[in-house]
Amino acid sequence: MKLLTALLLALLSLAACAPAVVPAGPAIRAAAIEGFEPPPLPWMPVPAWAFAPSPPLPEPSGPRPESMLVMPDGARLPLRVWRPEGAPRFVILAIHGLADHGGNMLQEGGPLLAAGGALVYAYDQRGFGWTRARGYWAGAETMVNDARVALDLIRARHPGLPIFLLGESMGGAVVLAMGRVEVNGIILSAPALWGRAYMPAFLRSLLWFAGHVLGPVAMPPSAPNITASDNPAALMRFGRDPLTLRDIRFDMVSGLVDLMDEAVAALPRCCRDVPTLILVGGNDQVVPTPIARRALRDAGVPRVALYREGWHILLRDNVRDQVARDIIEFLNMPDVPTPREADGAAWLARTPP
């Protein structure tokens, strides 16, 4: 009887530690773009008894949000804009990666794309940046629905202009999970494709344990001997920005892998209905290049641009000028191959897979 009771208590404790998800609530209004009302920045003043000056108020990376994307449940997602000097020739809606926010994602790349004639928008996804429930996973369904609403709102604001989606890392997985969308083209920069199909069994088991038993426990979004970029300034900024996440809950990691599973499943269909260009860094350690190559090759993806000197955050890496030029070329002629696609085709054909 004691053993049965202990076993029951253990099962109840596991249920209590199920991954925490903070999805969208019920619809209470029409979606809209409204003025920016900044919530307080994450900032910890030094208490008076410490006899030390408080640090200055932190300054987030990128331009200050101009407005908010208000979702049907009332959630407010900050929206940043990079404008070209003249009339825009196309519109980009950018979706950032894990632990990041829209301003930091395009600190370097936003001005480069705007210089090529693009009007660039980037919003903070739920649970990230300047949103509420920061640090909690919203769930793939909510994130995808938010992206669809954001796309509709931006398209309605600029009728007649060609519109493109740009997803980086986790943002690329969100774009893939959206399925078929009415856009002129899609750019996926180092999309997060490390789904369970490409993990060894022990890692899948460890992930389940971490998500269900250690869910509230958090860890830094980096690992020893793994770097996201060859741009030291961008890496330092990521660590200092008050809106990037310093720690990632294990249940958020588990949710990310769920999203990557959806992205991998959608990959074979993504690139045939709409012109789609996938950008890969030859030195990527976050989504390791052997994993990315297997996923892309298994899906028969037709268009991959390889940047041999690139890393994971390509529009911040030292190859960003070339990456931005290729993106602008794709925006101008979505059906015409870009210069680095020949390298991508050779890379995909390499053995071993």
Question: Which tens digits make up the pLDDT trace of 88-127?
Answer: 999 999 999 999 999 999 999 999 999 999 999 999 999 9
Q: Does residue 27 belong to any structural domain of this protein?
A: no
Q: What are the respective helix, strand and coil percentages of the chain, to the nearest 5?
A: 40, 15, 45
Residue 32 to residue 59: CA distance in whole angstroms: 27
Q: Does residue 11 belong to any structural domain of this protein?
A: no
pTM attached to this predicted model: 0.91
Residue 151 to residue 148: CA distance in whole angstroms: 5
Q: Does residue 45 belong to any structural domain of this protein?
A: no
Q: Are 185 and 164 in contact (CB under 8 A)?
A: yes
Indicate which CATH number applies to the domain containing 184: 3.40.50.1820
Q: Considering only CA atoms, which of 199, 164, 194 is closest in space to residue 182?
A: 164
Q: Is the pLDDT reported for residue 272 higher than 70?
A: yes
Q: Does residue 89 belong to any structural domain of this protein?
A: yes
Q: Is the pLDDT reported for residue 7 higher than 50?
A: no
Q: How far is CA 295 from CA 134, 226, 256, 353, in A?
A: 31, 21, 17, 9
Residue 169 to residue 104: CA distance in whole angstroms: 14
pLDDT classification of 208: cutoffs 50, 70, 90: confident
Residue 103 to residue 121: CA distance in whole angstroms: 10
Token pair for 331: 């925006």
pLDDT classification of 203: cutoffs 50, 70, 90: confident
pLDDT classification of 219: cutoffs 50, 70, 90: low
Q: Does residue 100 belong to any structural domain of this protein?
A: yes
DSSP class of 198? G
Q: Are 267 and 174 in contact (CB under 8 A)?
A: no
Q: Does residue 7 belong to any structural domain of this protein?
A: no
Q: Does residue 39 belong to any structural domain of this protein?
A: no
Q: Does residue 42 belong to any structural domain of this protein?
A: no
* Residue 331 domain boundaries: 59-349
The number of folded domains in the chain is 1
pLDDT in the model for residue 205: 80
Residue 88 to residue 86: CA distance in whole angstroms: 6
